[in-house]
Amino acid sequence: MYKAPVEEIAFTLKHVAGMDDAISKGLLGDLSEDLVDAVLSEAGRFATEEVAPLADIGDRQGARLEGGEVRLPDGWRDLYRSWIAGGWNGLTAPEAFGGQALPHMLNVAALEMWNSGSMAFALAPTLTMGAIEAVSTHGSAALKEKYLEKMVSGEWTGTMNLTEPHAGSDLGVLKARAERRADGSYRIFGQKIFITWGEHDAADNIIHLVLARLPDAPAGTRGISLFLVPKFLVNDDGSLGARNDLFCHSLEHKLGIHGSPTCTMIYGDGRFGDEKGAVGWLVGEENKGLACMFTMMNNARLAVGMQGVAIAEAATQKAVAYAKERTQGRAPGWSGPGMSPIVEHPDVARMLLTMKALTQGARAISYACAHAIDMSHRAGDVSRHWQERAALLTPIAKSFSTDAGVDVASLGIQVHGGMGFIEETGAARYLRDARIAPIYEGTNGIQAIDLVTRKLPLSGGEQVKGFIAELKEIAERVRRSNLDGFAETSVRLDAAISDLEAATDWLTKTLADGKAAEALSGATPYQRLFGLVLTGCYLAKGALAESGDGRGAGRIVLCRFAAENLLAETAALRDRVVNGAASLAAARILLA
């Protein structure tokens, strides 16, 4: 059973991702390390004791559609009620609406724990937090006044309605339409698919944020507007009014996250209300909906990255526990009586250590991204730098972490042997749940396109250069540390960073030369290369931080393992980026 790794999370936040630095500079208000520990500890307790025990039943029962209503798995309604009663939904939300305005870093760390407990459950607040952000950033004063307080408390949940059957990654072609009404409201019509927690019985109201097109809108992405469309209309006194003209038509039958209702939503077919059309209100300006949506999507991408970290953590814990307990065969050097625990077999140890390194690397990258987001709001003169850093890190955090989630969950099954394939064991669920994360909120391929075409050019390429220079400093500190066993690590880090630098330069030049197809052929290998280098460097940063007081031996050996066993891949990835495009292009005749 999952146990929240509160100390590891706190260490990574403080000493790897930059929280200690931000606190010491006074950029996080009156946040103290003690408060951080207290929040994490209580979140860890809740995730471990309340959320995780209900994950299996959620998976087995799934969400069910009965007479137009969605029934959550047994116990989930109460779980959600008790979760919001703990105030967890408003951790980072504005104080004006009842939130606690804590740094994003803290929320992301808590999100990791909710997701380790149950990814399907944690999706509800993940979507609500995105909706809160969109409304509080782009909504009118009236909308904020009417909706935010209950969304912040979690009494009402939120959703994002983007996808239509023919419009997934390409939102420019969506067809849902909105009509203006004289009172300033709109009527929304259309069908949306893959709407996470689009309907359920745990909250009194559900606030849908819906992308739709006005009759006179320009074609493509510049003609999309964002609307707030509540399940129940809200009266001026805040009480709930009539049912709005929208409903959940069906639930998807999915590989994983069974407890999370994935809804097809129908807007404006006349099932409810006197006049056809779901009543909605504009968020932001007409035809500027995509910009509003991107506000929530950036944070949502990091939130999805946390799902990868979370599953990787939970899968690793489970596999390590099993490998220590299960005995089979006699490992080389085993001197005990009878069979050895399988953890003694070098091959099993390799799998487990790979799982640990990927998990901790993904966590550090994601927390560093959250730190950059915090700094982009709080760092005054250098906010713009941090905004760019967050933009650069977001696709890596999303893709590397979600790939790690899948890879680690799959290794976890392998460690369990035949038992891993049996659903009751629980290892298989992690793979089933994790598999969606590299897909939604922009596939990892789309993240790679974003990284290469939009993020590398930030500040004329200086943002990524500056970042690489910071990584070189870490490698340099590893060398100067002279720590036992760390010499080879510094060599490996140097080589990996050189690979990153060479690939970055090549991509920058190739894009500048207008060779988009060549550059994009290497986007995915480049993204993974970046993530691996960051994994090595952040593990090193943690090892250096802890080595000062004589502890840290564990961090040093894990960093060594990553440097000497995982980072060799970077040369192959650089090669794919720099040399792979021609043979890929030639082979496309096979796909004609």
Q: Would you please indicate which residues are annotated as catalytic (active-site) residues?
A: 441
Instruction: Tell which one of 80, 197, 440, 538 touches a second copy (CB under 8 A).
Output: 440
Query: How many other C-beta atoms can be found within 10 angstroms of the C-beta atom of residue 404?
Result: 30
Token pair belonging to 417: 């042997």
Q: What is the nearest approach in angstroms of a second copy to the Cβ of residue 272?
A: 27
192 binds a second copy (CB under 8 A): no
Helix, strand, or coil (residue 165): coil
Ranges within 478-507 binding a second copy (CB under 8 A)? 485, 488
Q: What is the nearest approach in angstroms of a second copy to the Cβ of residue 584?
A: 6
Measure the N-to-C terminal CA separation of the chain; round to a whole number of Å: 49
524 binds a second copy (CB under 8 A): yes
Which residue, 152 or 357, is less far from a second copy as judged by CB? 357
What DSSP character marks residue 541? H
The residues near 321 (Cβ < 8 Å, ≥ 6 apart) are none
Which residue, 92 or 504, is less far from a second copy as judged by CB? 504
Nearest to 117 by CA among 49, 57, 36: 49
512 binds a second copy (CB under 8 A): no
Instruction: Tell which one of 387, 504, 521, 535 touches a second copy (CB under 8 A).
Output: 521
Which residue, 240 or 487, is less far from a second copy as judged by CB? 487
332 binds a second copy (CB under 8 A): yes
Q: Are 361 and 531 spatial neighbours (Cβ–Cβ below 8 Å)?
A: yes
Which residue is listed with tokens 């796909």? 591
Ranges within 248-267 binding a second copy (CB under 8 A)? 252-256
Q: What is the nearest approach in angstroms of a second copy to the Cβ of residue 195?
A: 11
CA separation for the pair 328, 340 (Å, rounded): 6
Q: What is the nearest approach in angstroms of a second copy to the Cβ of residue 117?
A: 21
Q: What is the nearest approach in angstroms of a second copy to the Cβ of residue 434?
A: 10
204 binds a second copy (CB under 8 A): no
String of DSSP letters for 449-486: HHIIIIITTGGGGHHHHHHHHHHHHHHHHHHHH--TT-
Which residue is listed with tokens 């724990």? 113
Q: Where are the alpha helices (DSSP H) in 18-140?
A: 19-24, 33-46, 55-61, 76-85, 104-117, 119-138
457 binds a second copy (CB under 8 A): no
Q: What is the nearest approach in angstroms of a second copy to the Cβ of residue 354?
A: 10
Q: Stretches 237-245, 299-307, 381-389, 444-452: which one binds a second copy (CB under 8 A)?
A: 444-452
- Which amino acid appears at position 393 of this protein? L
Taking the CA atoms of 582, 587, 589 and 592 in sequence, report the sign of the dihedral they define. Answer: negative
523 binds a second copy (CB under 8 A): yes
Phi then psi for 161, rounded to 5 degrees? -115, 95
220 binds a second copy (CB under 8 A): no
Ranges within 343-362 binding a second copy (CB under 8 A)? 343, 345-353, 356
568 binds a second copy (CB under 8 A): yes
540 binds a second copy (CB under 8 A): no
Which residue is listed with tokens 């006179």? 216
Helices 383-416, 523-547: axis angle to 10 degrees equals: 90
Identify the bridge partners of residue 228 per DSSP, sorted by sequence position.
209, 281
Which residue, 33 or 423, is less far from a second copy as judged by CB? 423
Helix, strand, or coil (residue 363): helix
Query: How many other C-beta atoms can be found within 10 angstroms of the C-beta atom of residue 272?
Result: 17
Which residue, 443 or 498, is less far from a second copy as judged by CB? 443
Element (H, E) at 405: helix 383-416
Q: Stretches 182-190, 265-273, 336-344, 472-480: which one binds a second copy (CB under 8 A)?
A: 336-344
Which residue, 348 or 540, is less far from a second copy as judged by CB? 348
CA separation for the pair 54, 118 (Å, rounded): 8
Ranges within 76-105 binding a second copy (CB under 8 A)? none
Token pair belonging to 242: 């009539």
Taking the CA atoms of 468, 544, 404 and 399 in sequence, report the sign of the dihedral they define. Answer: negative
74 binds a second copy (CB under 8 A): no
Q: Stretches 201-209, 272-280, 307-315, 317-325: which one binds a second copy (CB under 8 A)?
A: 317-325
Q: Stretches 18-26, 374-382, 392-400, 413-421: which one binds a second copy (CB under 8 A)?
A: 413-421
Q: Are 265 and 192 spatial neighbours (Cβ–Cβ below 8 Å)?
A: yes
Token pair belonging to 81: 């009620």
Which residue, 188 or 495, is less far from a second copy as judged by CB? 495
72 binds a second copy (CB under 8 A): no
Instruction: Tell which one of 413, 451, 483, 507 touches a second copy (CB under 8 A).
Output: 413
The residues near 179 (Cβ < 8 Å, ≥ 6 apart) are 186, 187, 189, 214, 215, 277
Q: Are 573 and 529 spatial neighbours (Cβ–Cβ below 8 Å)?
A: yes
Nearest to 46 by CA among 137, 128, 133, 109: 109
Q: How many chain residues are in contact with a second copy, going by CB under 8 A?
A: 94
Q: What is the CA radius of gyration of the chain?
A: 24
Q: What is the nearest approach in angstroms of a second copy to the Cβ of residue 498?
A: 15
Q: Are 113 and 9 spatial neighbours (Cβ–Cβ below 8 Å)?
A: yes
Which residue, 343 or 396, is less far from a second copy as judged by CB? 343
Binding mask 170-189 for a second copy (x = CB under 8 A): x--x----------------
Instruction: Tell which one of 43, 51, 314, 406 touches a second copy (CB under 8 A).
Output: 406
Instruction: Tell which one of 439, 491, 502, 545 touches a second copy (CB under 8 A).
Output: 439
What DSSP character marks residue 442? S
438 binds a second copy (CB under 8 A): yes
Q: Stretches 37-45, 204-212, 342-350, 373-381: which one binds a second copy (CB under 8 A)?
A: 342-350
Q: Stretches 49-57, 162-170, 176-184, 389-397: which one binds a second copy (CB under 8 A)?
A: 162-170
CA angle 156–124–295, rounded 5-degree value: 85
Which residue, 167 or 291, is less far from a second copy as judged by CB? 167
Q: Stretches 83-91, 289-297, 321-329, 472-480: which one binds a second copy (CB under 8 A)?
A: 321-329
35 binds a second copy (CB under 8 A): no
Instruction: Tell which one of 444, 481, 508, 535 touches a second copy (CB under 8 A).
Output: 444
Q: Stretches 207-215, 442-450, 462-470, 538-546: which one binds a second copy (CB under 8 A)?
A: 442-450
